Structure 1
């Protein structure tokens, strides 16, 4: 992995980048030729988001379906640069107190909203407190627990006034953390920490739902949104760094089939595409192929509140029936690494050891042991036969292929028939949160550069848990890791926590992500951050 992964890692672009775009004139060959040959013609980049964004409300759109669009319509105090490190964005500078707990951000005088309003410190205070407001029910609220008073407010044990985020004046924001956090500037580049125009949101609480009401502060503004079909962004002339932005428009399609996407790419209707598994060997060797690092994990969640997965031995049996190497070699075929733990490669501990290598393989493909564990678990539960089992995934040809492969593996190793079910993304996600699935696919993309971000998802009260699993020892280890200032001790807590997670096995991993895409010649400057945000501020198209 590259050296920068030591400091900053992340995740989830495979699905979002595995898609591309159409425009109303995408089939017009004459228009395409004009765009390529006329320097004065509009520069229009055509991409595919794969699906409808979950939400363009920053504290709610906490997933890859929303991130790529949000990250280009809006901007936080910091923005990830071309080197994937946080750099000045809405904030032109910041001061850090001697105890490393208080940050004072100074917002640019020329930072404005797309409607012409000045961007203020009050907009950030409003947005960050909304993120933590229990009424908002943000899945990203846990990221704000670094802020003094944030967790108590979100849990209903404190008040908004106790949250240590204060607009000192129109352009100065002061934030106090619970403890020194050396990756805080990475954390706040996440879309969950984007500002919200308080006056606009007060007047229209649904400001984010349509193109004509959306107000952002990023390189692009929302021009058109045909829900479940397409979305268009235009360069924002009110953006403080508008001179850097070279594209006039970005047109996003919402196509969730990789083969269709690739056909659109081949026809010249898309500027990037995912790589269909059937053509992977050939396409990965082409001049248009790009493979970049990404930190994240493709995995499955057991619902431990539903039979038969209340039994740890049965969960382990299903996990050990999975052959991760076969899946990446014969199914996905995009040169991913098989996953035998949850934290991906690329995080270095104080001794320079990679987390994944140091903690080793915590699960292995072992059909004989799997069969034995299944029999023991069934005996413990008094089962003569297992209750019916349904494996659920959200609609995607890639997810369907992996699900069908798992179905075969469970049949071959365990003799268990598993039914498959797919649902559309928003329905799937809500049902997973509501623990309506028995066994369901999932993915994790790092939000900031530290292994704790992977592991904190499975604490008892985490909105990201979605398994029904609770373990007091695990919760204590994560709590200790977050409070520990001695780095060596902090990493030991995290190593032990991951082992506890795999002892109980509320999940099983499949593979770690990478970013394997095709990109048209003449498209330059697109930055794919390991954390899963696509950066178009520096993109160009000849």
Structure 2
């Protein structure tokens, strides 16, 4: 499902020998060891990268979130708790944060984790040479945006280790969500000496160092990742599992069969079995966050016309999509920001903002006719809809193709692409209509909508609107939280007035889980956490 803010990639044929396991792999528990607690999970695909600022997606960050740890960690209640930092201080103006690291925190090789590691990592996130898709998150730091855009210097970014245990950061604007945001893997520390010595350090189990609950021991690319409990983790006493194996099975029926055979402890819900599994009360449904959507390329015909974009969006019957295609209780998305974030006006941001799109086939036809007239079309140019590989993505694309045919009389061609290629082509504005998903990096609506600013690497539509850009900028600089939320509502409304995207549904988490498993935390606004997981 998840690629977030992010996208995932399809496993390729692995024709090369697996790397030799490191010495620590001898500790890896096996299913044959009756006394080991080895959790078996499916990661769907090969991680994009296990370098924290690079692997900016669910398939990378679920693994990274259990290998590494930032200043804070999301607790069982989804709120940030002290992690590498034992405490922090915030200045009166909300723009200076001082993090105090706890004593005795170590890397998996025994080296101490220092404030210098965090300074190096956070500046590296911003460094144009790193080319991190998550770099924009670091723009919150004073000097961060200029450095990230190649117009400033690293030394001008206000991130400074005052000593081995103290990190001071100064912000470009008040950011009440910062403590939540630094729990995101993009802000994890990296072992400075290792990164500087070996540019490929994050591609092999032998060279990756961890500071979290588990450490990597084997990585057979496109097949599986193995990790064991990290004895050097500061809170190792509360980690109950001996190890975790992540498979890479990108087929829901194969995954389910492995679950049935006890080769996996959890599984997704195959669409063709969903009804029965729900009836049998076998499915767990949990709150989640994020949005599945399609991007219109506003620089390519016919989607350089707003009414044609709105016609395609209005032709989508989202309720039918979730009820009869997806069949796992998602909520249809009639806006972009998903539910789950409290609004100072009272209630939830989504409830306060309301809906911005709807399904209306008759109105969609009228909008299409109007748009074609405005463009001087007697016949609509050919439209190709691109989507990333995966069973669910294909089913959704097929359903949309049929809806466009039935509701507005448009035959749309389909193009399946490997996820990395799709993302790269989106960034180059080479696709007309293409599938995307967004998972929030921290729990604030600004994280959803700021990606559509002019020139933002997450935009990928060619859309630009000065009013929208100003609303986002004003929201960032607004210290009054109630007014800040009002600006974000206006920005989301402006986004849908121009319709560069067509939202489909909001994510949830539906899964099957063995009765032997307990304590897995699936954060609505974060990543899977196995720190508290156990096997009976």
Same fold flag (TM > 0.5)? yes
Give the TM-score taking structure 2 as reference length.
Answer: 0.93
Q: Which moved more, 1:174-183 or 1:186-195?
A: 174-183
CA displacement, residues 267-324 of structure 1 (integer Å, 9 cap, x when unaligned): 1111111001111122124454221111111111111112111111111110010000
Q: Who is 1:22 aligned against?
A: none
Q: Distance in 1 between matches of 2:5 and 2:63?
A: 12
Contact 1:331-1:402 at 8 Å conserved across structures: yes
Q: Distance in 1 between matches of 2:307 and 2:5?
A: 33
Q: Who is 2:111 aligned against?
A: 117
Q: 319, 323, 336: which is aligned to 2:317?
A: 323
Contact 1:14-1:516 at 8 Å conserved across structures: no
Q: Which moved more, 1:398-407 or 1:206-215?
A: 206-215
Q: Who is 1:388 aligned against?
A: 382
Q: 128, 131, 134: which is aligned to 1:137?
A: 131
| TM superposition shift of 1:108 | 2.0
Q: 111, 115, 120: which is aligned to 1:126?
A: 120
Q: Distance in 2 between matches of 1:119 and 1:273?
A: 35
| TM superposition shift of 1:13 | 12
CA displacement, residues 441-460 of structure 1 (integer Å, 9 cap, x when unaligned): 11111111111111101001
* Correspondence 1:174-189 to 2 at 5 A: 174-189=168-183
Q: Who is 2:24 aligned against?
A: none
Q: 99, 106, 114: which is aligned to 1:105?
A: 99
Q: Distance in 1 between matches of 2:85 and 2:482?
A: 32
Contact 1:14-1:514 at 8 Å conserved across structures: no
Q: Distance in 2 between matches of 1:270 and 1:13?
A: 27
The 1:391–1:532 alpha-carbon spacing in structure 2 relative to 1, beyond 3 Å, is farther
Q: Are 1:77 and 2:71 an aligned pair?
A: yes
| TM superposition shift of 1:15 | 9.9
Contact 1:393-1:400 at 8 Å conserved across structures: yes
Compare relative contact order (CA 8 Å, sep 6+) and give the higher one, 1 or 2. Answer: 1
Q: Who is 2:436 aligned against?
A: 442
Alignment root-mean-square deviation, CA:
1.9
Q: Who is 1:419 aligned against?
A: 413
| TM superposition shift of 1:353 | 3.0
Q: Who is 1:489 aligned against?
A: 483
Q: Distance in 2 between matches of 1:404 and 1:478?
A: 35
Secondary structure of 2:492's counterpart equals helix
Q: Who is 2:260 aligned against?
A: 266
Extract unaligned runs of 5+ from structure 1: 1-9, 20-30
| TM superposition shift of 1:351 | 2.3
Q: Who is 2:232 aligned against?
A: 238
* Correspondence 1:297-376 to 2 at 5 A: 297-376=291-370
Contact 2:7-2:436 at 8 Å conserved across structures: no
Secondary structure of 2:472's counterpart equals helix
CA displacement, residues 412-433 of structure 1 (integer Å, 9 cap, x when unaligned): 1111111111122222222222
Secondary structure of 2:49's counterpart equals coil
Q: Distance in 1 between matches of 2:220 and 2:429?
A: 31
Q: Distance in 2 between matches of 1:11 and 1:343?
A: 16
Q: 208, 214, 224: which is aligned to 2:202?
A: 208
* Correspondence 1:518-529 to 2 at 5 A: 518-529=512-523
| TM superposition shift of 1:333 | 0.8
Q: Distance in 2 between matches of 1:305 and 1:227?
A: 37
| TM superposition shift of 1:402 | 0.5
The 1:472–1:12 alpha-carbon spacing in structure 2 relative to 1, beyond 3 Å, is closer
Q: 81, 84, 88: which is aligned to 1:87?
A: 81
| TM superposition shift of 1:14 | 12
Q: 476, 490, 499: which is aligned to 2:493?
A: 499
| TM superposition shift of 1:249 | 1.4
Q: 506, 509, 524: which is aligned to 1:512?
A: 506
Contact 1:11-1:295 at 8 Å conserved across structures: no
Q: 472, 482, 491: which is aligned to 2:466?
A: 472
CA displacement, residues 467-510 of structure 1 (integer Å, 9 cap, x when unaligned): 11111110001111111112222111111111111111000111
Q: 18, 37, 45: which is aligned to 1:51?
A: 45
Contact 1:324-1:510 at 8 Å conserved across structures: yes
| TM superposition shift of 1:162 | 1.2
Contact 1:257-1:397 at 8 Å conserved across structures: yes
Q: Who is 1:455 aligned against?
A: 449
CA displacement, residues 153-172 of structure 1 (integer Å, 9 cap, x when unaligned): 11223211111100111111
Q: Who is 1:538 aligned against?
A: 532
Secondary structure of 2:202's counterpart equals coil
Q: Are 1:378 and 2:387 an aligned pair?
A: no
The 1:65–1:504 alpha-carbon spacing in structure 2 relative to 1, beyond 3 Å, is same
Q: Distance in 1 between matches of 2:147 and 2:127?
A: 7
Q: Provide the aligned length of Structure 1 versus Structure 2.
A: 515
Contact 1:11-1:447 at 8 Å conserved across structures: no
| TM superposition shift of 1:212 | 1.1
Contact 1:80-1:86 at 8 Å conserved across structures: yes
* Correspondence 1:244-263 to 2 at 5 A: 244-263=238-257
Contact 1:11-1:297 at 8 Å conserved across structures: no
